[in-house]
Amino acid sequence: MKSLIWFRNDLRVHDNTALHAATKPGQNPDGCVALFVIPPTQWKRHDYAPVRVDFILRNLVILSKSLEALSIPLRIIHADQESEIPNLILREAQELKCGALHFNREYEVDEAARDARVTSLLGSKDITVCAHHDQTALPPGSVRTQENKPFTVFTPFKKRWGVFHVEQGGTPVLAAPKPQAATRISPSPIPASVPGFKSTIDPTLWPAGEDAAMNALRKFAHERIYRYKSDRDYPAIPGTSQQSVALATGVISPRQCLAVAIEASGGKLDGGGPGPMHWISEIVWREFYVHVVEAFPRVCMHRAFKPATDKIVWSHDERLFERWKAGTTGVPIVDAAMRQLNQTGWMHNRLRMVAAMYLTKDLFIDWRWGEKYFMQNLVDGFLASNNGGWQWSASTGTDAAPYFRIFNPVSQSRSYDPEGTFIRKYCPELASLDNHEIHEPYSDETGVAPLRRSKLDYPEPIVDHRKARDYVLAAFKAMGSA
């Protein structure tokens, strides 16, 4: 009998828990077969961005070649409806004479329910199903409070995560398997595109494949990780790793990221240099949000993490929302951020917070609208992190800080793009303004706003930040969050 390995958001042969388990020496005398299901309806319902689908397809091409070198053919099947997936996998397993199915768990509500249906159906046909933890370094549910409850605040979670990581002996990286017995099964062709997901983003911005991801990670570790803490908030300089793209699709694992960061910090998980330590903290943030998804399924159901904030009556002003989406709010740093997203499929992390807080606090528009738009456009769209970030910005999530944390976008702009370099790149119509004026071209400090004095083709701000802040504070107080 053979084993069937169902790939999802884990498109790699190195450090892949399900692949490692399925290919243990002597376990499959008849070899293994890999499987990937293309589910356009599910991707559309879950707001997959066209750029993300394009990235997945390009990675499948490389994964297929890597698996072929291991004598593991990659089969591709299409599922028009999510409900078809269990029966399609069963049919594939039976036709290929597979006695076991291996996959790495996904923790979102719909995905977990789908996997349960697959497990039940195949189990009823005497096919062994083995589900593995792989998406995080430490399995969701394993890091809990002393009262055996899930953590709801990041800092104590991080402390306990670090202790548990050490207690478990770290998270070793698994090697790629050795070549298997040949199956005489041909791999499937990889489609160049999927209807309904035509990307307009230059694919060369996001190179595919494990080698590209690992090379980028090592380059970051050798050249920039030591300055990460000081550089990470400045969008005009390459201060981040951009590994979120590879992590979201599973082209690289969090364990591989941790291993490189720990090596850069002199073998220390804690107490190393500020750059590596801060980057490790960002990996743990990702872990935290996945643990939240597993423990509090409501965040997958368009619900606020803090149930009390479901009472907030958000604005649903489509006109203002369209201005935010297009990057024409009249606030240069917000507009530059949105244009970066629309043009590249990615946005700098500091600007994700600035843009999200502007939508939810200045425009007081429902955070779910912004969450959805980001997912529909991000190459690194990942529900746990995206939802966690949006709810943090909207003060409906796990953030322990009070609801009155409200970014002033102009202050953020002056602090993190002081010379306006990033703004000039994505808002070239403002390039002629000096380094002071460019952050607030509508200010009347000199008597005549630079926007009008220079006759620039750029909109005036759609809302007044001070008035918006007062409105938000009153709204949160009214629903009893004070």
User: Measured between alpha carbons, how far is 239 from 105 in angstroms, rounded to an integer?
Assistant: 32
What gap in Å lies between CA 100 and CA 154, rounded to an integer?
38
**What confidence score (pLDDT) does residue 482 get?**
41
Looking at the fold, whether 357 and 383 belong to one and the same domain comes out as yes
Question: Are residues 26 and 112 located together in one domain of the fold?
Answer: yes
What is d(CA 219, CA 231) in angstroms, rounded to the nearest whole number? 16
Give the per-residue pLDDT at 446: 52
Same domain, 289 and 360: no
Q: What integer pLDDT is reported at residue 34 of this predicted model?
A: 98
Residues 57 and 88 in one domain: yes
Phi, psi for 364 (deg, rounded to 5): 55, 40
Tokens for 274, please give them: 């500020």
At 102, the amino acid letter reads H
* 107 and 28 both lie in a single domain: yes
Whether 269 and 315 share a structural domain: no
Task: Tell me what pLDDT residue 401 has.
Answer: 63
Same domain, 166 and 268: yes
| Average predicted confidence (pLDDT) for the chain | 94
Phi, psi of 260, rounded to the nearest 5 degrees:
-65, -40
Q: CB-based contacts of 179: which residues, under 8 Å, 6+ apart?
A: 69, 70, 71
* CATH code assigned at 14: 3.40.50.620
409: CATH: 1.10.579.10
Q: What is the dihedral of CA 471, 152, 112, 73, to 10 degrees?
A: 100
User: Is 203 a domain residue?
Assistant: no
* pLDDT value at residue 481: 43
| DSSP, residue by residue, 290-329 | HHHHHH-GGGGTT--SSGGGGG---B--HHHHHHHHHT-S
On whether residue 431 sits in a domain, the answer given is yes
Which domain does 285 fall in, by range? 135-172+210-295
Number of compact structural domains in the chain: 3
Flag whether 301 is in a domain. no
Q: Is residue 200 part of a domain?
A: no
Residue 407 and residue 413: Cα distance in Å, rounded?
10
**Residue finishing a domain among 267, 295, 323:** 295
**Residues with Cβ within 8 Å of residue 8, at least 6 apart in sequence:** 36, 37, 103, 104, 106, 111, 250
Q: Locate tokens 């024409």: which residue?
A: 328
Instruction: Give the pTM.
Output: 0.95
3-class secondary structure for 355-374? Answer: HHHHHHHHCCECHHHHHHHH
Are 82 and 227 part of one and the same domain?
Answer: no
Residues 401 and 284 placed together within one structural domain of the fold: no
Residue 188 within a domain: no
How crowded is the C-beta side of 63, counted as CA atoms within 13 Å? 34
Within this chain, do residues 218 and 324 fall inside the same structural domain, yes or no? no
Looking at residue 402, its pLDDT comes to 64
For each of the chain's 482 residues, which pLDDT tens digit applies? 899 999 999 999 999 999 999 999 888 888 999 999 999 999 999 999 999 999 999 999 999 999 999 999 999 999 999 999 999 999 999 999 999 999 999 999 999 999 999 999 999 999 999 999 999 999 999 999 999 999 999 999 999 999 988 877 788 899 999 999 889 999 999 999 999 999 999 999 999 999 999 999 999 999 999 999 999 999 999 999 999 999 999 999 999 999 999 999 888 887 778 999 999 999 999 999 999 999 999 999 999 999 989 889 999 999 999 999 999 999 999 999 999 999 999 999 999 999 999 999 999 999 999 999 999 999 999 999 999 999 999 999 997 666 677 899 999 999 999 999 999 999 999 999 999 999 999 876 655 577 777 778 899 999 999 999 999 888 888 876 44
Q: 58 in a domain, yes or no?
A: yes
Query: Same structural domain for residues 93 and 46?
Result: yes
Q: Do both 263 and 161 map to the same domain?
A: yes
User: Given this model, what pLDDT does residue 400 score?
Assistant: 63
Answer yes or no: is 364 within a domain.
yes
What residues are annotated to the active site?
A: 282, 285, 314, 349, 367, 390
Strands (DSSP E) contained in 8-109 are: 32-38, 74-78, 98-104
